[in-house]
Amino acid sequence: MSFINSSFIKEKTHSYHLLIKMDNDNVFFLCATEHATNKCMYWEVIEGIELFSNHHFLKTYSWKTIKVVVPTFNFTLLPLGLYIEDYKEEYLSLVSKLNPKDRIFDYKHRSTNIVSIWSLTDEINKSIKDLFLGKKITLIPESSSFLQSCIIFSENKKKIDIFFKNRFCYICVSTNCEILFFNKFEIKFDSDCAYYILAIQDELILGNDFLVTLWGDIEINSSILNNLQEHIPRIKLGSKSEILSFSIEFDLLKTDHIDLFSSHFCD
C-alpha cells in the first residue's frame, strides 16, 4: 500500500527527508517529507526485508537525510549538562538489565537540554548495518521520536500525550516546551493506563484541567479507551495532520504513525 503527493518530484529528493520505521515481522514503513514545508510527499508499507532492501528509494535516489526509527527496549533520560558520554552504559545499567551484546546509543533533545540514552539489540544493529551499507543514516529510537513531537507541539497549558505500542505505552506530560514527566509502561490489564494517569495526576498535582491525547495502537471502541474515559474528562485521539501536512491523496491513511512522522523533526 502506498500514497503519493501529486507534487512529489523525484529530482528534488535531495531536499526531502527519507523516514523509515522498522517494525516487527519484517514490516517496514517508508515516508518522504519535504524539509521546507513539513509536507508528507510519499508513504508506503513494505512487507519483507528483500523487497525493502531493493526498493528504488534506497537504490536510486539521494536524500537530504535518511532517518531510521527503531524500537526502544531500554532507555533513560538525563539533563544534557550532566551527561558524560563515556559513561552512557553505566547510566543505562542503573535502570535496565542490559545484555552484554546490546549496543548503547544516545539522542540529544537540545531544545530542552535532555539526552536519551538507549539500547539496541545486537541483532537489529547488524541488520541495519547490512541494509544501509555505505549510506549515512540517523538512528532514532521510537521513544525519542515521540518525545520530540511532545516538545515541539507543547502548549501553554499542561497536557498529556500517550503513545500506545503493542502492550506498552509511553506517557509524556509537557507544558511550554518543557517535559515534566516521561516514561514507558507495560499494560497487563486494560485498566492499567487509567491507573498510571491518575497516579501521575496526583504526583504532579495536575488538577482536572488537562487534555489527554492518544496516539498509536488504540482503537475507538477499545476497553482501554473506555477505562480512560471513565476517569479522565478530556480525551481525544491524535491525528496525523497534527504532526505533518497531508494532501488529499493521503485521506485513506488513517493511522497517525506518530513515531515515524515525528522523526521528521529529529536532528
Distance CA 89, CA 70 (A): 19
**For domain 154-238, is the CATH number 3.30.420.260?**
yes
Distance CA 140, CA 118 (A): 10
Give pLDDT tens digits for 41-77.
999 999 998 899 899 998 888 999 999 999 998 999 9
Residues with Cβ within 8 Å of 212's Cβ and at least 6 positions away in sequence, in order, are 159, 160, 161, 162, 197, 228, 232, 234, 235, 236
Beta-strand ranges (E) seen in 121-207 are 138-141, 159-165, 168-175, 178-186
Backbone angles phi, psi at 196, to 5 degrees: -60, -45
What pLDDT does residue 219 have? 84
Burial classification of residue 132, based on how many CB atoms lie within 10 Å of its CB (0-12 exposed, 13-18 middle, 19 or more buried): middle
Are the CB atoms for 17 and 65 separated by under 8 Å?
Answer: yes
What pLDDT does residue 208 have? 79
What pLDDT does residue 22 have? 87
Residues of the chain with CATH 3.30.420.260: 154-238
Distance CA 92, CA 98 (A): 8
What pLDDT does residue 210 have? 86
What pLDDT does residue 166 have? 87
**For the chain, the helix, strand and coil percentages under 3-state DSSP, each to the nearest 5:** 35, 35, 35
Q: What are the mean pLDDT values of the chain's consecutive 10-residue runs (267 residues total)?
A: 92 94 86 95 93 89 94 94 95 93 93 94 88 90 95 86 94 90 95 95 86 91 92 91 95 89 94
What pLDDT does residue 173 have? 95
Which grid cell sits at 100?
552484554
Which grid cell sits at 200?
501521575
Residues with Cβ within 8 Å of 211's Cβ and at least 6 positions away in sequence, in order, are 157, 159, 160, 234, 235, 236
Prediction pTM value:
0.93
What pLDDT does residue 265 have? 94
Rg of the chain over Cα atoms, rounded to whole angstroms, equals 19
Burial classification of residue 207, based on how many CB atoms lie within 10 Å of its CB (0-12 exposed, 13-18 middle, 19 or more buried): exposed
CATH top-level class of 2-70+242-265? alpha beta
Amino acid at 214: L
Distance CA 257, CA 241 (A): 11
Q: Would strands 103-109 and 75-79 be described as parallel, antiparallel, or unpaired? A: unpaired
